[in-house]
């Protein structure tokens, strides 16, 4: 329970929200930090009521500056001097699915080199052979999330759809920096018009989505908004020619785009070094190669790279109606995006999984045999990819080489278990998997849809104090991209909040991690074990006698940033409360040592 009195059920949700505030008054160092604002991206767990959301945000002094409804993400503002305690409070709050800073993203372009052959890249990827099969379809739309696109350029003017400017919130998608026009031309510049250059998918349409300022910078929130917008507008391919390596918000937006049947292609970045980020299953990341099929010196590489494509001296459209050579992974990504658009043109029934599988299986293997961190699965081959897409179409037009996906996802409620007795607020956990990916998981309570989660791990917040005591039935349903539905076994849960017996026995509590008298540094997880027959209502975390966080559901863990205190000995105390107000505490000493 999250209240002093078990009978105060109607106030539980609001009090719950307040109980998760991290107390920072003792952190005197924050007074000396600059007071400019930082933006955070956060999402509440499915099932958290709107009233509770409002209280959590207001209690931490967070101002909502934007909201992305398709993926339920809030963009909030916090003063820089309160960033770390606020972020830690949110990270330790079981109502929060994730929180991250609204990072800036930079374009992946490097200086021009006019001495290379102008369109060597088209021959390198065997585009002429692909064009014998298809030059694209006007029904296939490529979204360019960038600085805008020059609407008067002769090689682009006839193929631009009406898009949206998310930076200024208007319909003006003209190019304010010059990068987006280059990307759009690489992917889909008009051919056979007697002027200029040819894009890879020159018969496909372009949806311009401006997400940058006049200096070419954007944020993850604007990219996420642009992706969800492009998906809703029916785009089958989206190009993100920015240096992006991670981010839960952007990954959620990419999944939204993929679930709508599209493919997201991104630049791998121009750091010229190894990046250790893991593969994102919803984004095809592309590194750059030279005309000799070597990795470009500026190209980032690592386990997140899926494919490579030419990225040095790519001749393309330039803002103002001209043409020029450009380099960077920014221009490798639209080459791959153009091939994906050609594949959708010859076989609209392809799933995003099919497209990525074909691109990777038909790529020209470079570097070490098989997959490697420099070249991914290899350099794209437009002709081979289109040929494979066409063969798939001839196999009855179904995905997976003509075999229709009729296998539903597997799904199971892992917590609570069948027959469990619960009280207060709990997190319902669901495991779901499918060969082609899980689109969403729905949780049903007593036969009625309770909440939906579209991103793993699938976890739902359920405040049982809003329910009548007694048996309630939980069922989870998982959906895959083909529309197959898997259903879990029913879990019968006994809700028991109105216990009238008296409990005078304090809880059992211990600090599992860190151990007493250990040396700690940086961010250290304080892991607590607490139990009581009547249930644990909350666990308080103290550092040197100052309350720093309150956690009211398992796991009882607090991420302590040890850099907020001086090096030396410090006392950690945790106090656990049961539902009747009984408490027990335990303390340890640790030695903080930060360089």
Q: What number is the average pLDDT over the span 564-588?
A: 93
> Rounded mean pLDDT of the chain?
87
pLDDT value at 577 more than 70 = yes
How far apart (Å, rounded) are the C-alpha atoms in residues 121 and 199? 11
- The more confident residue out of 361 and 15 is 361
Domains of the chain: 1-102 (3.30.70.80), 105-394 (3.40.50.200), 410-495 (2.60.40.10), 500-595 (2.60.40.10)
In angstroms, what CA-CA distances link 56 with 61, 86, 87, 95, 458?
9, 11, 13, 9, 22
Is 570 assigned a catalytic role?
no
Residue 202, both tokens: 């020159």
Catalytic residue of the set 72, 97, 146, 306: 146
Catalytic residue of the set 330, 351, 398, 488: 330
Q: What number is the average pLDDT over the span 469-489?
A: 92
Q: Which of 71, 26, 43, 345 is nearest to 232 (CA)?
A: 71
Its pTM stands at 0.74
Q: What is the pLDDT of residues 153-203, one digit of tens each?
A: 999 998 999 999 999 999 999 999 999 999 999 999 998 777 789 999 999
Dihedrals phi, psi of 106, to nearest 5 degrees: -110, 150
pLDDT value at 48 more than 70 = yes
Dihedrals phi, psi of 9, to nearest 5 degrees: -65, -40
Is 534 assigned a catalytic role?
no
Are the beta carbons of 112 and 177 closer than 8 angstroms?
no
Is 259 assigned a catalytic role?
no
Q: What number is the average pLDDT over the span 371-376?
A: 96
How far apart (Å, rounded) are the C-alpha atoms in residues 586 and 274? 45
What pLDDT, on a 0 to 100 scale, did the predictor assign at position 570?
96
Catalytic residue of the set 179, 241, 327, 532: 179
What pLDDT, on a 0 to 100 scale, did the predictor assign at position 595?
84
Confidence of residue 38 (pLDDT cuts 50, 70, 90): confident
Q: What number is the average pLDDT over the span 197-224?
A: 95
How far apart (Å, rounded) are the C-alpha atoms in residues 385 and 336? 11
Are the beta carbons of 485 and 562 closer than 8 angstroms?
no
Helices 220-232/248-259 angle, 10° precision: 10
Q: What is the pLDDT of residues 3-28, one digit of tens each?
A: 333 333 333 333 333 333 332 222 22
* Dihedral sign for Cα atoms in the order 192, 196, 202, 208: negative
Are the beta carbons of 444 and 476 closer than 8 angstroms?
yes
How far apart (Å, rounded) are the C-alpha atoms in residues 159 and 334? 16
- The more confident residue out of 22 and 454 is 454
Q: What is the pLDDT of residues 77-117, one digit of tens each?
A: 998 888 888 998 898 888 999 999 988 776 655 443 332 34
């Amino acid at each position: 329970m999250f209240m002093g009195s078990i009978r105060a059920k109607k106030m539980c949700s609001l009090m719950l929200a307040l109980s998760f505030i991290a107390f920072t008054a003792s952190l005197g160092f924050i007074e000396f930090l600059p007071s400019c604002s930082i933006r955070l991206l956060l999402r509440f767990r499915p099932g958290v009521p709107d009233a509770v959301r409002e209280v959590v945000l207001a209690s931490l002094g967070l101002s909502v500056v934007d909201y992305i409804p398709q993926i339920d993400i809030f963009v909030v503002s916090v003063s820089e001097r309160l960033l770390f305690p606020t972020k830690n409070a949110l990270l330790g709050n079981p109502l929060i699915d994730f929180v991250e800073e609204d990072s800036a993203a930079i374009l992946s372009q490097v200086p021009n080199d006019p001495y290379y052959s102008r369109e060597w890249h088209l021959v390198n990827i065997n585009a002429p052979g692909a064009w014998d099969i298809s030059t694209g379809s006007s029904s296939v739309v490529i979204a360019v999330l960038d600085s805008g696109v020059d609407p008067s350029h002769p090689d682009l003017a006839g193929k631009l759809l009406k898009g949206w400017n998310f930076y200024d919130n208007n319909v003006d998608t003209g190019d304010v920096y010059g990068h987006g026009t280059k990307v759009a031309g690489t992917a889909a510049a008009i051919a056979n018009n007697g002027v200029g250059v040819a894009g890879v998918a020159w018969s496909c349409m372009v949806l311009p989505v401006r997400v940058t300022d006049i200096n070419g910078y954007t944020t993850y929130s604007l990219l996420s908004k642009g992706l969800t917008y492009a998906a809703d507008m029916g785009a089958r391919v989206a190009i993100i020619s920015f240096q992006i390596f991670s981010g839960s918000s952007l990954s959620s937006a990419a999944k939204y785009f993929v679930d709508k049947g599209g493919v997201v292609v991104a630049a791998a970045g121009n750091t010229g070094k190894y990046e250790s980020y893991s593969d994102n299953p919803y984004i095809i990341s592309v590194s750059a190669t030279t005309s000799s099929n070597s990795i470009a010196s500026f190209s980032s590489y690592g386990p997140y790279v899926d494919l490579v494509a030419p990225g040095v001296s790519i001749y393309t459209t330039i803002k103002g109606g001209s043409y020029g050579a450009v380099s960077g992974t920014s221009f490798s990504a639209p080459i791959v995006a153009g091939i994906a658009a050609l594949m959708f043109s010859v076989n609209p029934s392809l799933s995003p999984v099919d497209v990525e599988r074909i691109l990777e299986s038909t790529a020209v293997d470079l570097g070490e045999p098989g997959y490697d961190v420099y070249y991914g699965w290899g350099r794209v081959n437009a002709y081979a990819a289109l040929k494979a897409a066409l063969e798939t179409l001839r196999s009855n037009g179904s995905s997976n080489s003509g075999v229709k996906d009729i296998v539903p996802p597997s799904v199971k409620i892992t917590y609570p278990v069948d027959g469990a007795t619960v009280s207060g607020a709990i997190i319902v956990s669901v495991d779901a998997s499918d060969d082609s990916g899980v689109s969403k998981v729905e949780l049903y309570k007593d036969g009625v849809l309770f909440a939906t989660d579209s991103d793993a791990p699938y976890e739902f917040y359920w405040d049982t104090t809003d329910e009548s005591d007694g048996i309630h039935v939980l069922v989870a349903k998982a959906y895959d991209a083909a529309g197959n539905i898997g259903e879990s076994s029913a879990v019968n849960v006994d809700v028991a909040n109105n216990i009238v017996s008296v409990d005078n026995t304090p809880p059992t509590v211990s600090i599992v991690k860190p151990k007493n008298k250990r040396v700690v540094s940086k961010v250290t997880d304080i892991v607590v074990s607490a139990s009581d027959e009547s249930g644990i209502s909350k666990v308080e975390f103290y550092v040197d006698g100052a309350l720093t966080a309150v956690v009211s559901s398992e796991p009882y863990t607090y991420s302590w940033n040890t850099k907020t205190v001086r090096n030396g000995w410090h006392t950690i105390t945790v106090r656990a409360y049961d539902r009747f107000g009984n408490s027990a505490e335990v303390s340890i000493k640790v030695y903080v040592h930060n360089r």
